[in-house]
A and B are shown apart, each in its own frame.
Chain A
Amino acid sequence: MKDREQQQMHTQANEDRDRDPTVSRLLIHLKEMRESVPVNYQLKQDLKKKLIAQMTQMGYPSANLHSTQPVAKKKRGWLLWLLSLAVLLSGWIIWVISAQVHISDWQPVTAVNEIHFQDADLVAFQNRSVYLSENALLFYNDQGQQVQTISLPDREGKILGLASSPMGDQVAWIKKGSRSNEIWISQIIGGGSRLVMETTPLSFGGMSWSLDGKWLYASLGGEIWQISTFSHETSILAKGTNPAVSPNGSYLAVVHDEQMEVWEATGKPVTKLGAGHSPVWIDDESILYVDEQNGIMICQPFEEKEDRESVSAMNSTEGIPIIRLSADRKKILWGEMAENGGKIYIGHLNIR
């Protein structure tokens, strides 16, 4: 039903354009405007909790309640029951034997092979990826075309890394000068940049955003700094590199002495996960990471039984592998980073 609707909508949009070509530019503008309107994902999460609580109060059988079904559906009887049971049983078998997460349709972004970049990330909700070059943020669409460039403020030093915001509206990046490290945030719309934090020059080991966009987590000098994106508030939470904060903001995954660890966001170590790097949270209970053989793995840090599964055939043959997830957890970027650039692949993440 959804596909058909989308197809029809597409056809009607084309009809609108065909009817009067003078408005086609306006339609493109309206579409761009619509896509650039940010959605309040924090509200989406909070409201869902509220709705589920309300459903429970209203006496729905479960949080994932089925609402009123068509009258006829209730009449299908025991045959339907048997059929459902068979489907459930086969579903359960597939569930048991297959991986929780599957990555498909890996596509190389060949256009970036020729450019020098230090780091890469996916831009949330925009089908774009962003690359940090010496003096600019370069944006490429999924077809490999460069679609936007944002010039960076002219500052002395070497660019180190970037992280795209969960709302898809900003990119944080870091530059190391001879006298200081600087973390900046650039606006994707408008291209303005502002300095968020300045420290003495420290080694850099990765950066990520909290899901609500209020905090940056950066590894500086082997410590994980929590940096407010609104004020000058900063604090040091943990030791390590490659910080990744869980979607609910409660936990940090880091790499410390080549071992992955999970810390409470308040700065208390929780558990050690073994060798690996480049962790990213799929949800509040699962982490994707790159293992020692440079393949993509998944683990559940809070499960008693240590269970790790390979989720992709991607294995880095050259360069240091990194993974990045889009904020909606639908896409994954695989990078094989070399000194000045690297190879980038983007795949679809299918989460069960």
Chain B
Amino acid sequence: MGMVEQSLEDPEMQNIKENTNIEEREFSELYDEYFDRVNRYLRCRADNMWDADDLTTTVFLKALEKFHQYDRRNPFASWIFRIAHNAFIDYLRKKREYPMKPSDWMFEEDDETWQPEKKALSKEQVEFLHEKLTQLTQDQRDVLTLRYFADLKISQVAEVLGKSESAVKMMSYRGLRQLYRLYEGE
């Protein structure tokens, strides 16, 4: 009984008990749930699906490596997408060093392995969205893709980007309006 009494008196325990939002799932369960969202997010952002899939692999390998650092009182979505977003920033940095125009190679290779993937989104649709997104500011792009393609809440987007919620709301609003104008201009 001593252990029980001790744990009930433990302020940390009380804190945790009060906080019902503790993530209790195992890594493999979280992987099952979040793979699709991370993969979709990176496929929306990277220039091609091969890079997006490589990045997805990198994200989950890193997540496993760092999983012991994950504080379960915070949403897993914010944590995994921070890793995903950082991996994407690294990718952009490397791409700047070795630039390649997406349209030169995005759908041109005749790689049968990925043929069904390629056909799901038409070249025009992907290019169109990519082109419109590139006309937004980097912040607006980050916010909109995290919000609407990674399906994160405003507070989670704010955590991933290290910004305040009100700043994220504003960027989201302005980004949407701008994107809307770009679509309307077509």
Contact B120 A72 (CB under 8 A): no
Nearest neighbor of A60 in chain B, beta-carbon distance: B27
A residues 23-46 in Cβ contact with B at 8 Å:
23, 26-27, 29-31, 33-34, 36-40, 43-44
In addition to A38-B43, A170-B116, A214-B112, 19 A-B residue pairs with Cβ atoms within 8 Å of each other are: A4-B21, A16-B173, A30-B144, A36-B120, A36-B121, A36-B125, A37-B44, A38-B116, A38-B120, A39-B40, A50-B57, A65-B26, A70-B73, A72-B10, A76-B7, A77-B7, A169-B120, A190-B122, A229-B115
Top-6 shortest CB links A-B: A77-B3, A169-B120, A213-B116, A38-B120, A230-B112, A72-B13
Known contacts A20-B173, A26-B179, A231-B112: A47-B120 contact under CB 8 Å = no
Known contacts A40-B117, A43-B57: A75-B3 contact under CB 8 Å = yes
Contact of A44 among B27, B35, B121 (CB under 8 A): B35
Q: Determine, out of A51-59, A98-106, A136-144, A244-252, the stretch whose residues face the partner at the interface.
A: A51-59
Contact A37 B3 (CB under 8 A): no
Contact A64 B26 (CB under 8 A): yes
Q: Assess whether A178 is interfacial by the CB under 8 Å rule.
A: no
Contact A44 B26 (CB under 8 A): no
- Identify the B interface with A (CB < 8 A): 3-4, 6-7, 10, 12-13, 16-17, 20-23, 26-28, 31-33, 35-36, 39-40, 43-44, 49, 53, 56-57, 60-61, 64, 67-68, 70, 72-73, 75, 77, 112-113, 115-117, 119-122, 125, 129, 144, 148-149, 151-154, 172-173, 176-177, 179-180, 183
Complex Cα spacing A5 to B109, Å: 40
A234 to chain B, nearest CB (A): 15
Residues in A with CB closer than 8 Å to B23 are 1
Complex Cα spacing A34 to B17, Å: 36
Contact B72 A39 (CB under 8 A): no
Contact of A27 among B10, B27, B176 (CB under 8 A): B176
Contact B28 A64 (CB under 8 A): yes
Contact of B60 among A4, A16, A51, A79 (CB under 8 A): A51
Contact A75 B61 (CB under 8 A): no
Contact A38 B12 (CB under 8 A): no
Interface of chain B, main secondary structure = helix
B101 to chain A, nearest CB (A): 21
Complex Cα spacing A78 to B49, Å: 50
A260 to chain B, nearest CB (A): 29
Nearest neighbor of A328 in chain B, beta-carbon distance: B36
Contact B57 A47 (CB under 8 A): yes
Can you list 17 contacts pairing A with B, beta carbon distance less than 8 Å? A5-B75, A8-B153, A12-B154, A16-B173, A19-B173, A30-B144, A34-B148, A37-B120, A43-B57, A44-B36, A68-B70, A75-B10, A77-B7, A165-B116, A169-B116, A214-B116, A230-B112
